[in-house]
Amino acid sequence: MKRHHAILLTSLIAVAALMGQGTAVAATMGNGNSGPPDAALKFEVGDPSIATETDREKIDIMGIWAHPDDDAGFTTPCGVWNDLYGVRCGIIMATRGEGGSNSVGPEAGPDLGIRRENEDRTSHIRSGTVDIFNLDRVDFFYNTSAPLTAKVWDAEETLSRTVRIIRETRPEILVGSTPSLAAGHGNHQYAQGRMIWEAAAAAADPGRFPEQLTGVGAVDPWQVKKILAGGLTTGTGGTAAANCNAGFVPAASNPFTVVGTWTGYESPYVWADGNVAGQAAGSAKTWAQVGREGGRAHPTQARTMQTALVDPTCQRYGVSESIVPMQPNSSPASANDDAVLYGAVVADPGGMPLGSEFSLDAEEYFEAAGEPFTTTVTLRSGDGALGGGTVSLVVPAGWQVSEPVEVDGIDDADATQATFTVTPASDAAPAVYKLAAEFAGDGVTAYNDTRIELVAPVEGRFERWGTAAEYEQWTQDNDAYVGGRSKAVAQVGAGETVTVPVEVANRSAAAESGTVDLAVPAGFTVDAASKPFADLAPGETTTVPFVVTHADPADPGSRTETFTATTTSGAGVSTESETVYLVPTVVIPQLGAAPTIDGTADELYTGQPIDVGTRWEGAECAADGVDCGDGGLARLGWYDDALYAQIHVTDDVASAASTPDRCFGHWLVDSVELLLDPRGDSLDTSSTFKLGMFPFTDDAEGTNGNGANGPCWSRDADNHQGFSTGPLAETVEGGLNAEGVEVAVQVVRQADGTYAGGGYDIEVKVPLSGLPAAVGPTSTVPQGDAALNDVDPQYLGMNVTPYDSDTQNFIGQTRTAWSAFGSQQSEPYRWGHAYLDGYAPPADRSTESAEPIIPDTALQGVQSPQTVAQSATRGGTISGVQPSDAMSISDVKIQQKKISLSYRSGEAGTVRVFLWKGDTSFIPVWTSSCAGDVYGFEACSPSDGAAPPWAPDMSGRLLASFEQEVDAGKGKLTVPIDASIRSALAKDAQILVSYAEQPSGDAAAGDGVNAWSFPIEATRPGKG
């Protein structure tokens, strides 16, 4: 509910599913408000809003995120900024979350994406954020690889779309999160981490995407002023009241300037009469309350309605980068709740005009103690010339810095620069340090800061590999030093011998010689505890390799150990530790014959079973191991180019049963996953084989081909994911993905929901020809002796991971494994190592992994009425693709049984028409019994907060939709309607149209787009 004096927020939103060529889909209103058809009504359409003819409104602060609900924390500050300061927020969303789960409905893929897009729009509507731009990237499987995300998303196309949106909307501030590996999900690392930095730089560069600067919808380069993404907010002080940053002091280890906004301000929204929170009817909700309610508006993602009272907080951001003046945390003005806007959206209190530049850059980010470097301060006025003054540089105590620089004046065209020489103290500890620039002139002051990191003059670091090495290169290339350096990580199998390289870099001014010492824990041996390096020139790097052996092949692993490298030279000492994942190893013997796949273990399995009951995530196992843990075993063998596994899972309570069409998301129910990395060197799971096996299903008729309620299996998050059994296997893109795989189970579910015998058994055959690359031949079996082992051996990466759920609502609880580490499902280096004794692959089998087949389930913006409506009425292109004026639409007529639209087009393409009724700014995601609740965020009964009906008509908003491919030339489109649809058009309805040119050559799919919104007006003949 909203107080009467507040401004009603409006934007456009709708929904639609993918449709076939030349088809119309009608979805009559389900709310019973249409009334009987009135043949006497006359319908006309008003002048349309057209994307290519509507000026794009400016955005002040733009957030960039990967999936709907990643931006849940953005609802509150945007509400405060919009309400108090008139600031307009916007959001760029890379995906619509099509790859996520759905807790409240059957929608998956594009259908789920369109529902989640509405959830996101609804979550932000009361905060004034009505501009949400979707990039139409696919929400593919969970991964922890930004490089994989960049590849799947087509990094250049994604960047182009993002840059165009930024150039259209001209935001002053970008908000996201850290680009570091600590962000976890590769989609997060890339979208709300890396894209912030890449897009800010590219948007300002006229040499990037120059096609955007001319022609239809031409835009200009745009310079973002601030980035809030990855900066730390640690510190002490502050106050739980307005101007909440008063007294805040960043922690000694926090080199970022911190801004804060109090969320306890009263919002324009009020508590409903009879609300379950017990608040006085009509009393104002705080923005903390409104923001949290919005942030939880994602029922498909198992969020629940926020009904309890929310305490206000000081929402803080660390300023990762600023090229404009701001206030230091030591100044009184830094306490203000709008300090985040200073220099970018509003003028800095120091007096430099809005649009002024005041920034500083160090020569290099990494510097050495005792070694001088230069720092340059840049000044430019945003409006007219400013008088002269003094520029000074503030450095940490004990450091030396050159004298302040006097400048005669500051122009608004050519920048003025002041250069300083900084020499860190020779005994300064390695850490990140703040450098601050200050200007004092005639009535004008300015402040800004940056960071450098001191490292040892001669530094030894464990060699980075995989995503860590790629991350450090990306950080250097983009000068985005906010997420910290990558951590040193490695792995070794029990009993194996591996090379451990240490890279030594010399950042001093003279050649250096010295030693590297490697300390390893008990159970490991090293070929030499200390090794030398000599005459390492300034600026050069050398590698010192060690050979390390783990002594016990029978060690169960599933733990980390620590190696420590100490580098000593005439310039001092540096030390680094490396986290080493000790993974189990196993010998897989050749079997005497092929086992019968029936779920039972027979005498053919002669190898030592492996323990698959070690918990790696979720709830603690029962003390006696009944629920998970003790007794979980896998027996392995190979025969005739196939791998066999018989797996016993210890479990007590059976989970929910998936129907065959839900034979995916195995982690939500009882299941077992078999994970295979054929070459043992995969950096992510796109070059692996991962099979999720469900021991039973809800399939009484046996439609999946495996008997009544029989098992099912599917590949997940791997080289060719998708259904792998039953009729749905035929629908997987690229053909069958698990040919020759056989699965059988022994499972008895008792009437009380428990498993007879305290668990179940699964047996599986996997033809090795079905893996993405050849397996082996694997190295000699590790003996725990460097003299007998192969160094850096070849093995089959493997894991066996049972998933346990004791619920009936598809919520996973406990996960166990043979190699039991967190994130093991997405990081193959954490899997165990298997040696196939005596096996050799066929000579013609490739050792290079096949290109992954990742289905593109992303809904395109031209298929989403909500995106089409926003583009048409608020300006800007759909999804950041290039706009097109190739098509024009005229003569839109509404008759008794059809709607007709005449068109003329200079290019072939696809036209989509959506008939929409009702408020187009949002669709409530919760049910509410509160009188007058417009937004659906009020609860007046314990039964409130359910998800209202959604499909097939998007809660009654989508009346009909139509799609047709058209050739160049002129023609007419006809959308059939029935009487109920015609009646529904009589009030608060509109016709939305999208057009996408047919792609040609190397043009991106759907490039060349436009959007129209035709308001419908109903009158009676002879009346106005």
**For position 6, what pLDDT does the model report?**
28
Preceding peptide of 999 cis, ω within 30°: no
Residues 39-65, mean pLDDT to the nearest whole number: 94
Contact 711, 761 (CB under 8 A): no
pLDDT of residue 196 exceeding 90, the answer is: yes
Q: What is the pLDDT of residue 33?
A: 46
For residue 14, pLDDT over 80 is answered with: no
d(CA 764, CA 743): 4
| CA atoms in the 13 A half-sphere facing the CB of 271 | 21
Q: What are the E-state strand segments in 94-155?
A: 131-134
User: Cα–Cα distance between 268 and 289 in angstroms, integer?
Assistant: 12
pLDDT computed for residue 15 by the predictor: 32
For the chain, the C-alpha Rg in angstroms (whole number) is: 31
**In this predicted model, what pLDDT tens digit does every residue of 513-554 receive, in sequence order?**
999 999 999 999 999 999 999 999 999 999 999 999 999 999
Average pLDDT, the chain: 94
Residue 713 above 80 pLDDT? yes
- The pLDDT value given to residue 106: 87
Is the predicted pLDDT of residue 92 greater than 50, yes or no?
A: yes
More confident residue, 548 or 41: 548
Query: Which pLDDT value is given to residue 36?
Result: 60
Ranking 722-726, 796-800, 1018-1022 by mean pLDDT, the lowest is 1018-1022
pLDDT at 189 over 60: yes
Lowest mean pLDDT among 99-103, 145-149, 693-697: 99-103
> What percent of the chain is helix, strand and coil (3-state, nearest 5)?
15, 35, 50
Query: What single-letter amino acid sits at 553?
Result: P
In this prediction, residue 717 has a pLDDT band, given cuts at 50, 70 and 90, of very high
pLDDT of 1023 > 70? The answer is no
Residue among 3, 4, 12 at smallest CA distance from 49: 12
What is the number of other CB atoms lying within 10 angstroms of the CB of residue 510?
A: 11
**For 485-492, what is the mean pLDDT?**
98
Question: What local confidence, expressed as pLDDT, does residue 24 receive?
Answer: 52
Q: What is the pLDDT of residues 339-395, one digit of tens each?
A: 999 999 999 999 999 999 999 999 999 999 999 999 999 999 999 999 999 999 999
Neighbour tally for 135: CB within 10 Å: 26
Tell me: the pLDDT tens digits for 264-312?
Answer: 999 999 999 999 999 999 999 999 999 999 999 999 999 999 999 999 9
pLDDT at 1001: 58
CA dist 151 → 147, 187, 199, 475 (Å): 6, 11, 17, 18
Q: Are 442 and 389 in contact (CB under 8 A)?
A: yes
3-state DSSP call for residue 312?
coil
pLDDT recorded at residue 619: 82
pLDDT tens digits, 419-456: 999 999 999 999 999 999 999 999 999 999 999 999 99
Q: Please, are residues 652 and 677 in contact by the beta-carbon 8 Å criterion?
A: no
Q: Give the DSSP per-residue string, 449-472.
A: EEEEEEE-SEEEEEPP-HHHHHHH
By three-state DSSP, how is residue 566 classified?
strand
Least confident piece of the model among 1-5, 79-83, 129-133, 165-169: 1-5
C-alpha–C-alpha distance, residues 660 and 725, integer Å: 9
pLDDT value at residue 32: 39
Residue type, 946: A
Q: Does the pLDDT value for residue 881 go beyond 50?
A: yes
The C-alpha atoms of residue 996 and residue 1002 are separated, in whole angstroms, by: 15
Residue carrying structure tokens 């049910």: 927
Q: Give the per-residue pLDDT at 13.
A: 29
Q: Is the link from the previous residue into 268 a cis peptide, with omega within 30 of 0?
A: no
Tell me what pLDDT residue 40 has. Answer: 74
Model's pTM, two decimal places? Answer: 0.94
**Model confidence at 627: pLDDT above 90:** no
Distance CA 685, CA 770 (A): 15
Please give the Cα distance from 329 to 342 (Å, whole number). Answer: 13
- Phi-psi region at 170: left, alpha or beta (left = phi > 0; alpha = psi -120 to 50): left
Query: What residue spans of 363-517 are helical by DSSP H?
Result: 466-478
Is pLDDT of 1000 > 60?
yes
Q: 228 phi and psi, to 5 degrees?
A: -115, 90
User: pLDDT by residue (tens digit) across 553-565?
Assistant: 999 999 999 999 9
Question: CA-CA distance, 614 to 797, in Å (whole number)?
Answer: 18
Residues 872, 877, 880, 885, Cα dihedral to 10°: 140
Please give the DSSP secondary-structure letter assigned to residue 522: T
**E strand or H helix at 166:** helix 155-169
pLDDT tens figures, 737-759: 999 999 999 999 999 999 999 99
What is the reported pLDDT for 37? 60
Of the given ranges (7-16, 542-551, 579-588), which has the lowest mean pLDDT?
Answer: 7-16
